[in-house]
Amino acid sequence: MMGGLGGPGRMLETDKEKPVRVGATLARFWHYFKPYWYAVLLTVILIVAGTVAQVAAPFLIGQAVDCYLLPQSQACSYTATPGGDTAARLSGLAGLVGWLLVLFVSGAALQGLAFFSMNWAGQRALRRIREDTFEQIHRLSLGYYSRNEAGNVMSRITSDTDTIQQVLGFALLSVISGILQIVLTILAMLQLNWIYALISVSVVPLMALATIYFSSQARKAFRKSRREMGSVNAGLQESIAGAREVQAFNREDESIEQFRRTNAANRDANVRAASFTSALNPVLEALGYVAIAVVVLVGALSALRNQPLLGTAVISLGTVVAFVQFVQRFNQPIQQIAVLWTNIQNAIAGGERIFGLLDERPDLLDTADAHELPLIEGRVVFEGVTAEYKPGEPVLRGVSFSATPGQTVAIVGPTGAGKTTIINLIPRFYDVTGGSVTIDGHDVRQVTAASLRNQIGIVLQDSFLFADTVISNIRYGRIDASDDEVIAAAKMAEAHSFIERLPQGYQTVLGERGGGLSQGQRQLIAIARAALANPRILILDEATSSVDTRTERLIQRAFDQLLAGRTSFVIAHRLSTIRNADQVLMVQAGEIVERGTHEELLELRGAYYDLYMSQFRAEDEGAEMARPAA
């Protein structure tokens, strides 16, 4: 969609509150882990082995009590010589303790290896997520960025991926290990005494209800927190980019206050999320103590009274000790998951935002039957073109004109008339809503965008330069250009002389957006970049409006060479460019009201004449006075 007259509207979009399928989000994460399935499988094997070692320990501790400390009459499953004299019991106990040490050490080692394997796969999955997000940022149409703040988009690939990174290592491994430990512990308890096991886990439904409630509330809060973090980043990016304007208009206090408000909203969302996650842990801990109390009470009554438990065998003291250990191992991962659930919920919320961006469909896509645009001559035809940014609010109305190869077309008119919209339709930054735009007979909607834009050069009023060397900024127009070709383009743009005066010449590294250069110098480098691309069609959007008169004369001489043989479209507010144009289009309210050469339109004494009298006459008279007498 498009915005108001002359350019995109500022309709900021925010993440909509909607039911989120956590399972679908987790499935999307698995898509990125799938290429590293072998590492994930190794991690699972290591986790299973390490968890089995941890779960086996309570059995041995129970055997130590029943077979060596307080020998019972029942058979001891994990020892060869239970009971006996003191020396034998001490020897057997020492062997059993040795096995316990082996279990603890091997369990810790297996957990460490599992952490490394999981982190190895997780970092590679995260790299693919970042790459896909970055590619999507470049795939989205310009209309998306007119509706979304840059800082909000940036937060998807920075803070949102950071929240995922925090989970892909220790947190995710701990949760998976904890869930497995819970399952294996329950199975071990059921095997040892199923009635006693059911009584021991009687508080699990309460734990489950508490976890479901608190985690769902935390997820909502973290989702809001991620949105508010995007607003903080957007405000920060805008404040940095507009620092000069803020200081020039003495609006530091207002800017700081606005940041405080967005930061406070982010703080409140995080506090609410933390309140739910912090409340969950003590609730689960209290229920865990209840479970231990139940185990001790029921087991002690059975052991002291020497009575079977609901038809099962009498519970020995060793079994009570083993079950206390089991319950502790059962409660520990539950509480650990509760603590880590903050990161898990945060990562899920961040994943939702990232996948939401990845699911965003670009406004403009190559059609299924789009073909490569062959080398063009540069004949451009607008036929009955209508365009609108918002439905029902046309920006262009029935625009028709043609430009022959090598012709220079100047587009003039008041602000908001639709001049920029016309030139944006040629490289298909936006689509027409009616009529057609063709180049050498090819509808721009039926060719691939890459092959179309490869043959179009653009110089904007505020051209963007990268924080890189001067030579790299010029070479951006054609990556495979040699140094000599870059220098030749700079000479054509009259930029070579000032570039040589820079501290490191062409190797001088520029600041952000060309910092360290004047506006005119930045514009000359942008013109050199366009010259290097050697396009068949050239678009100049007020390309000389930010340079002084002397620099403009230099640029104009360069344009005489650059425009030769190319179809050019020029939006200009200076008379010199318009005078040399083969065709001038006077645009008002989205329509071409007059067309012809500069002299022809002056003779009409219509809309162009009025514009000339109000805007160009003083410039024309100054140029006449500056000419030397014959």
Per-residue pLDDT of 83-119, as tens digits, reads 556 677 677 777 778 888 888 888 888 888 888 888 8
Strands 393-403 and 408-412: unpaired
Backbone φ/ψ region at 347: left (φ over 0), alpha (ψ -120 to 50), beta: alpha
Mean pLDDT along residues 161-179: 75
CA atoms within 13 A on the CB side of 35: 10
Percent of the chain clearing pLDDT 90 (strictly above): 6
* The pLDDT value given to residue 437: 93
Pair 319, 66: CB distance under 8 Å: yes
* The pLDDT value given to residue 385: 92
Mean pLDDT along residues 11-37: 66
Distance between CA atoms of residues 466 and 514, nearest Å: 6
* The pLDDT value given to residue 529: 86
Mean pLDDT along residues 303-324: 75
Within a 10 A sphere around the Cβ of 27, how many other Cβ atoms? 10
Residue 542 has pLDDT above 70, yes or no: no
Pick the more confident residue, 464 or 83.
464
Pair 367, 449: CB distance under 8 Å: no
In angstroms, what CA-CA distances link 165 with 46, 81, 161, 352? 21, 51, 6, 14
Pair 356, 33: CB distance under 8 Å: no
Mean pLDDT along residues 415-423: 86
Distance between CA atoms of residues 178 and 190, nearest Å: 18
In angstroms, what CA-CA distances link 565 with 9, 179, 425, 536, 537? 36, 71, 22, 8, 9
**The two structure tokens encoding residue 459:** 């110089």
Averaged confidence pLDDT in the chain: 77
Residue 364 has pLDDT above 80, yes or no: no
Q: Residues in the chain, how many?
A: 630
Distance between CA atoms of residues 293 and 331, nearest Å: 13
Distance between CA atoms of residues 305 and 307, nearest Å: 5
CA–centroid distance for 300 within its chain: 58
**In the structure, how many helices (H) and strands (E) does the chain have?**
23, 10
Instruction: Give the DSSP H or E segment for 503.
Output: none
Pair 536, 376: CB distance under 8 Å: yes
Residue 340 has pLDDT above 80, yes or no: no
CA atoms within 13 A on the CB side of 472: 10
Mean pLDDT along residues 500-521: 79
Residue 317 has pLDDT above 60, yes or no: yes
Q: Confidence band (pLDDT; 50, 70, 90) for 323? A: confident
Mean pLDDT along residues 342-358: 77
Percent of the chain clearing pLDDT 70 (strictly above): 76
Domains of the chain: 34-358 (1.20.1560.10), 366-455+535-630 (3.40.50.300), 465-533 (3.40.50.300)
pTM score of the predicted model: 0.60
Q: Which residues pair with 569 in a beta bridge?
A: 409, 539
* The pLDDT value given to residue 18: 42
**The two structure tokens encoding residue 227:** 């949105």
Span 377-400, pLDDT tens digits = 889 999 999 988 878 888 899 999
* The pLDDT value given to residue 11: 37
Q: Confidence band (pLDDT; 50, 70, 90) for 478? A: confident
* The pLDDT value given to residue 310: 66
* The pLDDT value given to residue 320: 80
Pair 467, 510: CB distance under 8 Å: yes
